[in-house]
Chains A and B, each alone.
Chain A
Amino acid sequence: MFVGLPGQGMHVHLDALSLLFLGILLPQVVAGALAGMRNSPTFWVFVLGMGLALAAADAFTLILGFELMSAASWLLVLRGDQKPATLYVGMAIFSAACLVPAVFLPAGSIAFLLIVLGAGAKAGLAPLHFWLPRAHPAPPAGVSALMSGGMVKVALYVIIRYGFVVLGPEAQPWWGGVLVAAGAASVLVGALRAMLETELKTMLACSTVEHVGLIAVGLGIALRAKAMGDATTAGLGLQAALLCAVAHGLYKPLLFIGAGEVKHSVGTTSLNWLGGLARAMPRLGLLMLAGAAGMAALPLGPGFAPEFLLWHAAIGAAGTGGIVARIGFTALLALLGLGAALAIGAAVRMFGVAFLGRPRTLQAAAAEEGERGPLIGMALLAALCVPVALLPNLLLDALSPVIRLLAPQAAQPPLAYAPLPLAGLAGLVAVGAAFILYRHGVRGSREVPAWNGGFGKPPPWLPFGDPATQPSATGFGEPIARAIGRGLLAPGGADPSEAFLLAPLARLHLRGVRVAERIRRATIRQRLAFIFTALVAFLLALGLGEGG
């Protein structure tokens, strides 16, 4: 990829990597358009920017597309709320300030670090992820879906394109270490916050931070292994990262569009105000269940194969390098396990609190099934999830040209996880059990006292039951908050990067503003004195310099 300048015209070229990411983008765009964004020109400019960034063959076109994407998405976030949009645009400017010099620098470590800073901030890699749980939930659901599923992928594409292809010959093993560290921190913080967050869309955005972290860990392991000449681990890491990107690009937009439908129907997305939606919105509930299965990385779901591969890659990486690297990757395994457990918890909590149980409010009780368009979009995404979930082997074969492009020497071992026979076996067992129950089970019905699902008896003045007798989303998260959250999150449950990075920056900014304001308000005599002092200091420096 050459630099390219405005006078030279733009160059577009599609190779296997670009095609893969465009393929990830396409179903989301269709679903987002179906979810009500069809008539918004800004939405299509946003899509165009992403497409341009993915198809670019020179750095100038890439940056142009990337910034077009940022600007259009800022306008779309602005439709939701002003504060997150301001935070978001600040982050976008920071990312541009890192990326623009990076593409003009000679290939080397500084260029790579700037790329990771700029694109990583855009993708939501820790510790620059604090904007994501605020900005992604703000716009309409179709845009949230595309931002969470598509835009972070474009940023990751920039990291992949530069880390593996453009700067590939200069790659050092520690580059991968940087990505792994940032990714591991994202996994931990994202999963933990997803488990504790009580706002549905914010919780989904936190889960996006976690999945971006997983992809970055895979990429980092592959980059390190490639630089060290470890063919198997490089192949496994790339397989894991790319498969995770494909899967996440399907189920996360699905969940976001579903959250938009919930908001449309109930009027809120706060989990503490929902409940029992599966009864009122059965189709939406089913589709959200499919998405939650993907998010939880359960076996037979679309999210499991990437995690499986990632564990294999981490185990492979733990067997190479010095003692520090071995200990680090072993710790990474434990951390990935914790992240996966928290992700399951978050998915179960989300579905259980919002869609099962009893309605917690009148609005939730009066919910109606969502509109046709968004449901069709969600169904499309869910249908695409099925082959990803059941036939990951075929998908990996399709990914092999991309992996050959990124790491030509990487070995691509076949996947040791076959969900289709597994699903067949499970189905066989279920049919057999049903048959045995039917043949030998107890006939007739039996009267037993109602267990009532663990609820207390509703008081007569509350027809839907007392919400307080049902555990809330906050209540489900509380044990985790006490066990892990206190140690990892900032006081009050705030995001650590917000408390330790954003807040000091804000204080610094305030101090700078005060100084500037004092300078601006200076009187004539103070200004004279200032210039005079500067002159004397200059003269003194000159005299001392000459004399010495």
Chain B
Amino acid sequence: MSLTFSLAHLMGGIILVFGFSLLSQRRLAAMITIYQIQAFVLSAAAFWQGYAQHEVNLYLTGLITLVIKAIALPIGLRMIVAKFNMIRAVETAMPVLLSTIIGVGLIGVAVLVVLPSTLSAVSLTREDLAIALSVVLLGLLVMTTRRNALAQIIGFLSTENGLVLAAIGMPGMPFVAEFSVALLVLLAFLVVGVFLFRIREHFDTLDLTGIEEIERRGR
């Protein structure tokens, strides 16, 4: 039983570390790779939880995660990067050191929130929940600190990874919820992909500063 806990926590920790390195990574191609590894670990965590909780649904979740997030989405992202010739693109809106410090603070906030407010719950879910919340907050931070639309999407996907991590750690979570979240992410990716192509057509860049400028002038 203790192996269940420690392995689950280890995998959660690995996901958190990858979420953190997503924050400090400046190159788009590397960000995609990090995201892909994060998704792999997530699917492994889902399989392990399925084995520990004896739930068939969790195996299914792991499978969906593996197929959609660890394989399909990175391929799509890489195609976009190759198409737009952004393999070497480097951009941030905030100094990396500053965003890293903020990220550490966010993890502190997550621990501070989850640990006292779930004292009565099982210890397996408590630490898992703290890690999952940290991943969600880090993903949101990536979304706010990046200028590039593609980097913002990766942040969004990483946020969603945190949600799935919270869901698989929670015994008795219905499968429908996880399945629909996965589907939603796929749809969001498709929609955003179309938008990216439109933005690219108009501005020759995925940097959103241009749009912001136009918004400011237009009103």
Residues in A neighbouring B117, C-beta threshold 8 A: 542-543, 546
Is the CB of A528 closer than 8 A to any CB of chain B? yes
Whether B106 pairs with A536 at a CB distance below 8 angstroms is yes
Q: Is the CB of A536 within 8 A of B137?
A: yes
Contacting pair A540 B112 (CB below 8 A): yes
CA distance in complex: A454, B212 (Å): 74
Given contacts A535-B140, A546-B117, contact A540 B208 (CB under 8 A): no
Complex-state Cα separation, A350 to B86, whole angstroms: 82
Point out the residues of chain B lying under 8 angstroms from A521, CB to CB: 215-216, 219
Q: Is the CB of B144 within 8 A of A543?
A: no
Which residues of chain B come closer than 8 Å to A524, judged between CB atoms? 208, 211-212
Contact in complex: A529, B144 (CB < 8 Å): yes
A532 near B219: Cβ-Cβ < 8 Å: no
**A539 touching B140, Cβ below 8 Å:** no
Which of B93, B116, B212 touches A543 (beta carbons < 8 Å)?
Answer: B116
B150 proximal to A (CB < 8 A): no
Residue in A closest to B119 when the chains form the complex, CB atoms: A546
- Point out the residues of chain B lying under 8 angstroms from A532, CB to CB: 140-141, 143-144
A516-534, CB < 8 A from B: 520-521, 523-525, 528-529, 532
State the Cβ distance, B159 to closest chain A Cβ, in Å: 11
Question: Are B113 and A525 interface neighbours, CB within 8 A?
Answer: no
- Is the CB of A492 closer than 8 A to any CB of chain B? no
Total B residues in contact with A, Cβ cutoff 8 Å? 22
Number of interface residues of A (CB under 8 A): 17
A547 contacts the other chain (Cβ, under 8 Å)? yes
Shortest Cβ distance from B102 into A: residue: A536
Among A490-548, those with CB < 8 Å from B are 520-521, 523-525, 528-529, 532, 535-536, 539-540, 542-544, 546-547
Q: B144 to A547, Cβ gap below 8 A? A: no
CB pair A543 B208 closer than 8 Å: no
A543 to B144 CA separation, bound complex (whole angstroms): 23
CB distance from B12 to the nearest CB of A (A): 19
Which residues in chain B, 179-219, are within 8 Å of chain A measured between CB atoms?
208, 211-212, 215-216, 219
Which residue of A is nearest B215, CB measured? A523
Partner among A525, A539, A540, A542 whose Cβ is within 8 Å of the Cβ of B144: A525
| B216, A525: Cβ atoms closer than 8 Å | no
Question: Which of chain B's residues has its CB closest to A520's CB?
Answer: B219
Which residues of chain A come closer than 8 Å to B143, judged between CB atoms?
A: 528, 532
A544–B116 CA distance with the chains assembled, in angstroms: 9
Residues of A within 8 Å of B144, CB to CB, are 525, 528-529, 532
Bound form: Cα–Cα A532–B216 in Å: 22
Contacts of B147 in A (CB 8 A): 525
Q: Is B41 an interface residue (CB 8 A)?
A: no
- In the bound complex, residues from chain A placing their C-beta under 8 Å from that of B140 are 528, 532, 535
A528, B147: Cα distance in complex, Å: 12
Is there a chain A Cβ closer than 8 Å to B154's Cβ?
Answer: no
- B109 part of interface (Cβ distance < 8 Å): yes
Output the nearest chain B residue to A530 by Cβ-Cβ distance: B144
Instruction: Give the chain A neighbours of B113 by CB distance below 8 A.
Output: 539-540, 542-543, 546
> Smallest CB–CB gap between B51 and chain A, Å?
32
CB distance from B71 to the nearest CB of A (A): 28
B144-158, CB < 8 A from A: 144, 147
State in angstroms the CA–CA spacing of A536 and B113 once bound together.
10
Q: Does B110 interact with chain A (Cβ within 8 Å)?
A: yes
CA gap between A542 and B144 in the complex, in Å = 23
* Contacts A523-B215, A525-B208; A543 near B106 (Cβ below 8 A): no
Residues of B within 8 A of A520 (CB): 219
Select from chain A the residue with minimum beta-carbon distance to B146. Answer: A525
Point out which of B93, B116, B137, B216 has the most chain A C-beta atoms below 10 A from its C-beta: B116
Of all chain B residues, which has the CB nearest A536? B109
B93 contacts across to A, CB distance below 8 A? 525
Cβ contacts under 8 Å, B216 to chain A:
521, 523
What are the interface flags for A62-91 relative to B under an 8 Å C-beta threshold, 1 for contact and 0 otherwise? 000000000000000000000000000000
Task: Kindly report which residue of chain B lies nearest to residue A539, judged by CB atoms.
Answer: B113
Q: Which B residues touch A543, using CB under 8 A? A: 109, 112-114, 116-117
Q: Are B215 and A547 in contact (CB under 8 A)?
A: no
Residue of A nearest to B212 (CB): A523
B105 to chain A, nearest CB (A): 9
Expressed in whole angstroms, the Cα–Cα distance for A540 and B114 within the complex equals: 10
Shortest CB distance A522–B (Å) = 9
Cα(A314)–Cα(B113), bound, Å: 66
- When A521-B219, A546-B116, A546-B117 are in contact, do A539 and B208 touch as well, CB less than 8 Å? no
Which 8 A/B pairs are nearest by Cβ-Cβ distance? Answer: A543-B113, A543-B112, A523-B212, A546-B116, A546-B117, A529-B144, A547-B116, A539-B113
- A sample of 5 inter-chain contacts (CB < 8 A) reads A525-B208, A525-B212, A542-B113, A542-B117, A543-B116
Other CB < 8 Å A-B pairs besides A524-B208, A529-B144, 7 of them? A523-B216, A532-B140, A535-B137, A535-B140, A536-B106, A539-B109, A539-B113
A residues whose Cβ falls under 8 Å from a Cβ of B: 520-521, 523-525, 528-529, 532, 535-536, 539-540, 542-544, 546-547
